[in-house]
Structure 1
Amino acid sequence: MSWWGKLVGGAFGFMLGGPLGAVLGAALGHRFDKGLQGLPDEQISWGPGDQERVQTAFFTATFSVMGHLAKADGRVSPDEIKLAEALMAQMSLSSEMRKTAIRLFNEGKAEGFPLDEVVEQFRLECHRRQTLIQMFLEIQIQAAYADSRMDRAEEALLLHICSLLNVSEFTFRRLERMIRAQSHYAGTGRGDRAPSRTQGLSVKDAYDILNITPEATDKEVKRAYRRLISQHHPDKLVSKGLPEEMMKMAAQKTDEIKKAYERVKQARGMA
C-alpha cells in the first residue's frame, strides 16, 4: 500500500509527529503533534517505514511551505495560486490528495505557521538526502517565479529556508538560475521576455539550465549534463522518498535538461 493509502487508511505507524505532523493533522482534521519535535537526529529511529515517512514529509512540507512563500510579499497572487494548482494537476492527484494539498497550502498562508520548525523537521526526515532537499528547493523557487519574477521578500525567505536546510547561498544561486531559465523557456512567466515553448530554447537558457557558462569545455558540458540527469532521475528520487505522484514532475525536469543539452550540443557542433 502507498504512503497515501496508509495515511487515509489509518495505519499511522509511520506517521509524522512534531510540527509537520501538526500541520498535516490540521489539514486532515487529526492531531499528530507528538513525536519528533525536539529530538536530536541520533535519537530518531529510521526503520522500515522510513521511505513512507519521507514521502509524507515531502508532500506536507512542499505545499505548506509553498503557501507560506506565496504570502511572503504580503499577498497571494492569482499566478501563485495557478502554479500551485498546476503542480497538483501535473501530479495527477486524486480528489482527496488535491483537497489535502490545498489545505496544506492554506495552512502555510495562515498566521503563526511554524516555518522554521517545519523546515527543520523536514531536513531531519530527509536524513541527509541532498538530491531530495534540492528537489524541494527547486519546487519552491519555481513557485517564487510564478508571477515571472522573484521579489526581495521571496528571495530573503528562500535564503532563510536554505540556511535551515544547510544549503549554501552558492547552491541557491545555481538552482535559481536554472529554474529561471526553465521558467523562461516554458513561458510560465507573464513578462514580455517570456517566450512560449514553440519559440524554442535559446542557447543562453540552455547553458543556464545546465548550470554552466559558454566558456565550459565540451567535457564539462557532458559532465554537467550527466550530473543533472542523475540528480533528477524519477526512479532514483522516488527511492529516496519523493512521492510517486511527483514522478511526472521529475520526468519533465529531466526532459528539459535533455533538451538543453541537445541545444548546447547543436550550438557547439558537438557529436
Structure 2
Amino acid sequence: MSWWGKVIGGAFGFMLGGPLGALLGATVGHGFDKGLTGVELGTGETWQGGSQERVQAAFFTATFSVMGHLAKADGRVTEDEIELARQTMDNMQLDEEQRRAAIELFNSGKQDDFPLADVLEQLKRECHRRVNLIQMFLQIQIATALADGDLHPSEQAVLLTVAEHLGISRGQFERLLAMVVAQQRFSRRESGSDAPVERESITEAYQLLGVTPNATEAEVKKSYRRLMSQHHPDKLVSKGLPEEMMKIATEKTREIKAAYEVIKASRKKA
C-alpha cells in the first residue's frame, strides 16, 4: 500500500505529529497532531521516523501548504499562481482525494496563522540530510513565486526564510533561483519554436547548468552529471519524494539534458 493509502486509511494514527501532522490530519479527518514515532500498523509494520513513506507524507504536506503561503505573500493570490498549483497537481496525476487534500493544504497555507517556521523546521527534521530532496522542495517554491513572471520583494523574503530554515545558505539560494529562472525561460524558448536555437537560449542553457560560457568542457560535463544525479527521479523517490512527483523530477532532468545538448551543439559550431 502506498503512503497515501495508509494515510487515508488511518493506519498510522498519530504518524507525523507536529504542524505537518496537524495539517495533513485536518485534510483527511484524522488526529495526527499529537505525534508518536513508530506506531504499530496492525501488521507488525511500523512507520519509523525517517522512513520513506513518512518523508513522502511530510514532503507532500509541506509542498502544497507552503505554496499557498508563498502565493499569498504579496497580498493576493494571482491566477498564475493558482494555475501553477493546478499544473503541479496535474503533473502528479493526483486522484480526487489527493487533489482535494492538496487544495486544502494550499488554502491552509494562505491563512494568517500559518506556522511557516514550524512547518519548515519539521520538514528539515523529517528529510534528515536529504539535501537533494530539500533543494527540490525549494525549487518548487521558487517556481511558485515566479509563476506570474515577477519575484515580488515579499515573495523573495519568504523564500529566503524557507532557505534559512532548511539550512540552505544565501549563496546556494541565489544559485537555485538563477537555475529556476533559467529553466523557465529555456523551457519556454525550447517549446515555442522549431527555429534555430537563439543566442538567448544558449545563455540560459549555461545558467541552467550553473556554469559560464568560459567553463571548460570538463567543467560543463561535471556540472551536467551532478545536476542529473541530483534530479534523478528514482533517486529522489528513494529519498522520500512522493511517487506522484516523479513527473516533475523527470521534466527537470529533461530540461537539464536539453540545455547540455544546446551547449554542446553551440560549441561544435564555434
TM (norm. structure 1) is: 0.90
Q: State how far apart, in whole Å, the 1-side matches of 2:55 and 2:49 are.
A: 11
Q: State how far apart, in whole Å, the 2-side matches of 1:207 and 1:219 are.
A: 14
1:229 aligns with 2:228: yes
How far did residue 49 of structure 1 move?
Answer: 6.9
Contact 2:14 2:33 in 1 (8 A): no
Contact 1:16 1:53 in 2 (8 A): yes
Residue of structure 2 equivalent to 1:257: 256
Contact 2:48 2:54 in 1 (8 A): no
Contact 1:14 1:53 in 2 (8 A): no
1:126-137 alignment to 2 at 5 Å?
126-137=127-138
Contact 1:14 1:49 in 2 (8 A): no
> Letter of the aligned partner of 1:197 in structure 2?
S
How far did residue 196 of structure 1 move?
Answer: 6.7
1:159 aligns with 2:160: yes
Residue of structure 1 equivalent to 2:218: 219
> Letter of the aligned partner of 1:16 in structure 2?
L
Q: State how far apart, in whole Å, the 2-side matches of 1:9 and 1:49 are.
A: 20
Residue of structure 1 equivalent to 2:24: 24
How far did residue 46 of structure 1 move?
Answer: 8.2
> Letter of the aligned partner of 2:26 in structure 1?
A
Residue of structure 2 equivalent to 1:191: none
1:13-92 alignment to 2 at 5 Å?
15-35=15-35, 47=48, 50-92=51-93
Give 3-state SS (helix, strand or coil) of 2:8's partner: helix
Residue of structure 2 equivalent to 1:3: 3
* Percent pairwise identity: 60
Give 3-state SS (helix, strand or coil) of 1:163's partner: helix
Q: State how far apart, in whole Å, the 2-side matches of 1:161 and 1:49 are.
A: 21
How far did residue 48 of structure 1 move?
Answer: 7.9
Q: State how far apart, in whole Å, the 2-side matches of 1:48 and 1:102 are.
A: 26
Give 3-state SS (helix, strand or coil) of 1:35's partner: coil
RMSD: 1.9
Contact 2:15 2:21 in 1 (8 A): yes
Q: State how far apart, in whole Å, the 2-side matches of 1:59 and 1:125 are.
A: 12
Residue of structure 2 equivalent to 1:198: 192
Unaligned 5+ runs, structure 1: 38-44, 188-194
Q: State how far apart, in whole Å, the 2-side matches of 1:49 and 1:218 are.
A: 39
How far did residue 26 of structure 1 move?
Answer: 1.9
How far did residue 197 of structure 1 move?
Answer: 1.7
How far did residue 186 of structure 1 move?
Answer: 2.8
Q: State how far apart, in whole Å, the 1-side matches of 2:14 and 2:192 are.
A: 45
Q: State how far apart, in whole Å, the 2-side matches of 1:203 and 1:117 are.
A: 41
Q: State how far apart, in whole Å, the 2-side matches of 1:5 and 1:47 are.
A: 17
> Letter of the aligned partner of 2:249 in structure 1?
A
1:91-102 alignment to 2 at 5 Å?
91-102=92-103
How far did residue 30 of structure 1 move?
Answer: 2.7
Contact 2:24 2:61 in 1 (8 A): yes
Q: State how far apart, in whole Å, the 2-side matches of 1:215 and 1:49 are.
A: 42
Contact 1:238 1:247 in 2 (8 A): yes
The Cα offsets for residues 164-213 of structure 1, whole Å up to 9 and x where unpaired, read as 011001111111111101111233xxxxxxx4722357101101110111
Give 3-state SS (helix, strand or coil) of 1:184's partner: helix
Contact 1:18 1:36 in 2 (8 A): no
Give 3-state SS (helix, strand or coil) of 1:146's partner: coil
Q: State how far apart, in whole Å, the 2-side matches of 1:51 and 1:60 are.
A: 14
How far did residue 269 of structure 1 move?
Answer: 1.5
How far did residue 24 of structure 1 move?
Answer: 1.1
Give 3-state SS (helix, strand or coil) of 1:268's partner: helix
Bigger Cα displacement from structure 2, 226-235 vs 10-19: 10-19
Q: State how far apart, in whole Å, the 1-side matches of 2:261 and 2:125 are.
A: 37
How far did residue 238 of structure 1 move?
Answer: 0.2
Unaligned 5+ runs, structure 2: 38-45
Aligned length: 256
